[in-house]
Amino acid sequence: MYTIQLGKTGLSVPTVAVGCMRIAKMNEKEADDFVRTALENGANFFDHADIYGGGKSETVFGKAIAGYNRDKILIQTKCGIVPGNVKTFDFTCQHIIESVNGSLQRLGTDYVDVLLLHRPDALMEPEEVAKAFDTLKAAGKVRHFGVSNQNPYQMMLLQKYMDMPLCANQLQFGIMHAPMVQAGFNVNMYNDASTNRDGGVLDFCRLHDITIQPWSPMQYGFFEGCFVDNDKFPRLNEVLARLADKYGVSKTTIAIAWILRHPAKMQPITGTTNLTRLVDCLQAAQITLTREEWYEIYQAAGNILP
């Protein structure tokens, strides 16, 4: 497994991270096999959130890693979404600290390597967030901090009050969800693709050494399904199949390799619990698509170049 630097942390992390959102339904053996397969393939960076499986995903994972050397495993979790009759976001100092304490208990560990704020909170008081981060850092409970689904100004507002740099921004990105690059192709045009929907977050993160972590890289729409082997996308799957045959890998591997080919050095988050597909995702780091192949895939997904 190849590695990249996570933001300005100095942490060397696998180019592909393992998403744990769906492991709550796994039994003990399935969870053990999941973790072992990831680690055997060099993927020791695991992504969580306090709400995944209502907290059970962290519990299942914590039991699965109990026999491993904690220092060899990198754990990232997220907080800030409060489910209930009325869904809310809560970035108060108290909520962040309580959420982290809950995650640590479920994960069976004294610290997490990275904590992300889970989506933006319109009522965020950046001083509160900074206070929580400082408290957690001083207590040794969190080593590094980042965000998810935030635009440049939201990050800048938060960064103004922080003593440490944000290391990551988790954003939806993949072949079938690429507004981060679409707008860059269509600057100064009237078509819909020219709409800047994220404030130029891709270039902002590159300028400030913030690692972009694409989530749901194999999905189309908002959790509408996987595009690989989907009859709705015949042209895309035709191109993926041809390139998979060329490189001797699966279409899933090519889809992840498409993300890794971008020079922003993103760290895609897998979302599968299928061990074969997990390995396929992790193998993408070994494939370097040509420019022509990257652009062919982009256009096969229905994107039009000016």
DSSP 73: -
What tokens were used for 166? 């944000």
Give 89's strand partners. 81
Take residue 126 and report the two structure tokens written for it: 């950046």
Which active-site residues does the annotation give? 52
Under DSSP, is residue 185 helix (H, G, I), strand (E, B) or coil? helix
The token pair that represents 70 in the structure block? 């904690």
Residues linked to residue 112 through DSSP beta bridges, in sequence order: 142
SS3 42: coil
Helices assigned H by DSSP within the chain: 28-40, 56-64, 93-107, 126-138, 152-159, 179-185, 201-207, 234-247, 251-260, 275-282, 291-300
The closest alpha carbon to 12, from 22, 2, 26, 20, belongs to 2
> Which residues, at least 6 apart from 99, have a Cβ–Cβ distance to it below 8 Å?
50, 79, 80
Per-residue buried b or exposed e for 228-254, using 16+ beta carbons within 10 Å of the residue's own CB: beeeebeebbebbeebbeebebbbbbb
Phi, psi angle pair for 6, to nearest 5°: -85, 105
DSSP annotation of 16 reads S
Please count the other Cβ atoms lying within 10 Å of the Cβ belonging to residue 98: 15
Burial of 20 (0-12, 13-18, 19+ CB in 10 A): buried
